Chains A and B, each alone.
Chain A
Amino acid sequence: MKFLHYVLRNARRSPVRSLLTIGAMSMCLALMMILISFLSVNDAVASSLRTYNRLVVMSSQGFAQPVPFARVNEIAGMKGVKHTTTFAWFGGKYHDEPMPFAQFGVSADSIFSIYDEFTISPDQVKAFADDKMGCVIGRKLAEERNIKIGDPLPLKGDIYPLDLNLTVRGVYDGPGTRDLRMCFFHWDFLNEELKRVSKNSKMTDNAGVVVVKCDSADRMVPLSKEIDNLYLNSATPTRTQTEEAFNQMFAEMFGDLRGMIRTIGLAVVMSLIFVSGNAMAMALRERTTEIAVLKAMGFQRPLVVNLVLTEAILVAFIGGLIGALGTKAFFDVVDLSKHSGGFLPFFFVPWPTAILGLGASLVIGFFSGIFPALAAARLSVINGLRKVV
């Protein structure tokens, strides 16, 4: 600690160089944090779903294939099932905006019992249930588009050959890790409209996927097997998995992207090591005589290594603080998802990702400093002093 002021003074010796190094470090780490967060947010959200005991039943051929509506009631009668709902993706345009937010046809009487982390007043739930053309939207969607209860919410069909002229009957809220821009409407209404406009459509009586609320976590695995076994030999076999696994399935679609982001992250770390290492080496080259003087007056090699390393790590750590924690703080305040055109329901930098960035800065500091530090420790006092002594 008694050498700390010496290290701090040295770190501030060339403010422009230190600031540029810190700037490069923080900028690159910030970009890395954003890239990694695209993946880790999904992981964090998926793992947070664990506690809600929800299963998702989809077609064994993929979630885009239909699951007959009859399954909803059949599954509801199975042991350990508390509630079920359809969850049919509508994917309509809002005015002329293509898919500005997610829209699902659901079972109005059970959706908020299944998604019990969402908060909504009982009056609004009842109003929604009582109005077949009603819908409930998320708080963020309501705020951003200034939509109030009672306002119309027209959706133009894009996948479906029909339009839905809905009326907002409620606004739900919930945790930050949930999509608060969704629109839930009556699946019955969608199905009836579909039958009206196209009697032979393959999309009628399609539940989309079935979301199941189980009464306990212990029941989830056996129930999954029971459901899939039940429909194994039917025309529409199912694949049942936990909601967490269902969400992870989307993350797995990024398989190659995930590897590429990791590679980019590694390349960023390596390039930062070179940038910081170069800055540190330049700084020490200018201080060759000083280091020789320190060694002449009795500074041992390990102490010289420690001083140089501490300085390198300090500079990198400041860059890490700004780059990693700064990015986290920024996205905690600024809601990127608001500007993503519906692409991101939410975006934040999870703590593990921020800590990873901070840790990366320490690693960068260590590796950028270790070689100049060892060179300084190995410096011959005679050569360092040259003609001074």
Chain B
Amino acid sequence: MGKEHSIELRNVTKTYKRDEFTIPVLTDLDLVVPEGEFLALMGPSGSGKTTLLNLIAGLDNATQGSVIVHGQDLGGMSDGEITRWRSENVGFIFQLYNLIPVLTAFENVELPLLLTNLSKRKRRDNVMTALRAVGLEGREDHYPRQLSGGQEQRVAIARAIVTDPFLLVADEPTGDLDRKSAEEILSLLQQLNKGFNKTIVMVTHDPEAAQRASRLLHLDKGKLVHDEVRNNLEEGVASS
């Protein structure tokens, strides 16, 4: 498989066991996401959006089927291998930012780089580049508590992109933000997608946020029920 299909799911089924019950979450799901796509996942609670996101990000394993990301079959990897793979290929953006409160913005962004062999100076350069990219230059010494929600999410995005992963996964990245901050974050994601060719998979309940994606998938009861490719990327950027 070429890199033009950066994510490919074939006949993926995911079930969870709760006591004696087997709960199907995703059923026989097929999905192809080309490189550089900005994909929004929507659906009601329990539809399997987050589970799908977890499978794509290498945080969970499919019960059946294969998940191939960036040419790598995630199902055949050990825990150590897949952890290393995530550090090199995936950036995570969470609804509640999940910054480390005792670290400054700089140190939070630097965390993933501590896993690399980069020199201190090179790490500093990369962190400052990421912070500049999200518009937080000059706030590097601020602790999360000294930042607004929107700024915290920007730091989280800087942390997600600082290792230059090809894939960004975002779970309701605007879910805890006011409309203005949400618009700024979505514009930033669009810029990363368009300007840096990052593949983005975003779970959202917000139809307005979903409008910013280049493709919109609806899930219901573990199945894809709607797949819509949109061409509004430039509009989205222009309207922000």
Binding site for B on A (CB under 8 A): 2-3, 5-6, 9-10, 12-13, 289-290, 293-301, 303, 381-382, 385, 387-389
Contact = CB atoms under 8 A, between A and B. Distances in A.
B95 A297 contact: no
A303 B79 CA distance: 13
Interface of B: 50, 53-54, 57, 59-60, 79-80, 83-84, 86-88, 91-92, 94-96, 98, 100-103, 107, 111-112, 114-115, 120, 159, 169, 171
Contacts of A290: 98, 100
Given A290-B100, A296-B86, A389 B114 contact: no
Contacts of B87: 297-299
Given A10-B102, A297-B87, A298-B115, A389 B80 contact: no
A289 B99 CA distance: 10
B50 A387 contact: yes
Contacts, number: 77
Contacts of B53: 389
A388 B84 contact: no
A290 B102 CA distance: 11
Given A6-B107, A296-B59, A300-B80, A389 B169 contact: yes
Given A297-B111, A298-B84, 19 more contacts: A2-B120, A5-B107, A6-B111, A6-B114, A9-B103, A12-B102, A290-B100, A293-B100, A294-B111, A298-B87, A299-B115, A300-B83, A301-B83, A381-B59, A387-B50, A388-B94, A388-B95, A389-B59, A389-B92
13 contacts: A10-B102, A12-B102, A293-B98, A295-B83, A297-B86, A298-B83, A298-B86, A298-B87, A299-B115, A388-B95, A388-B171, A389-B53, A389-B92
A54 to B, nearest CB: 61
Chain B interface main SS type: helix
A300 B78 CA distance: 12
Contacts of B57: 296, 389
- With a 10 A CB-CB cut-off, give which of A295, A303, A381 has the most chain B CB atoms: A381
A158 to B, nearest CB: 65
Nearest to B114: A2
A142 to B, nearest CB: 57
Contacts of A13: 101-102
Contact of B60 (A12, A289, A382): A382
A389 B94 CA distance: 7
Given A13-B102, A296-B57, A296-B86, A385 B94 contact: yes
Contacts of B98: 289-290, 293, 385, 388
A293 B94 contact: yes
Nearest to B91: A297
Given A296-B57, A296-B92, A299-B83, A9 B102 contact: yes
Nearest to B171: A389
A40 to B, nearest CB: 41
Contacts of B120: 2
Contacts of A300: 80, 83-84
Nearest to A298: B87
A303 B92 CA distance: 19
Contacts of A6: 100, 103, 107, 111, 114
Nearest to A12: B102
A387 B46 CA distance: 11
A4 to B, nearest CB: 11
- With a 10 A CB-CB cut-off, give which of B100, B107, B171 has the most chain A CB atoms: B100
A374 to B, nearest CB: 14
A311 to B, nearest CB: 12
A187 to B, nearest CB: 71
A388 B153 CA distance: 13
Given A5-B107, A9-B103, A301-B79, A293 B84 contact: no
Contacts of A9: 100, 102-103, 107
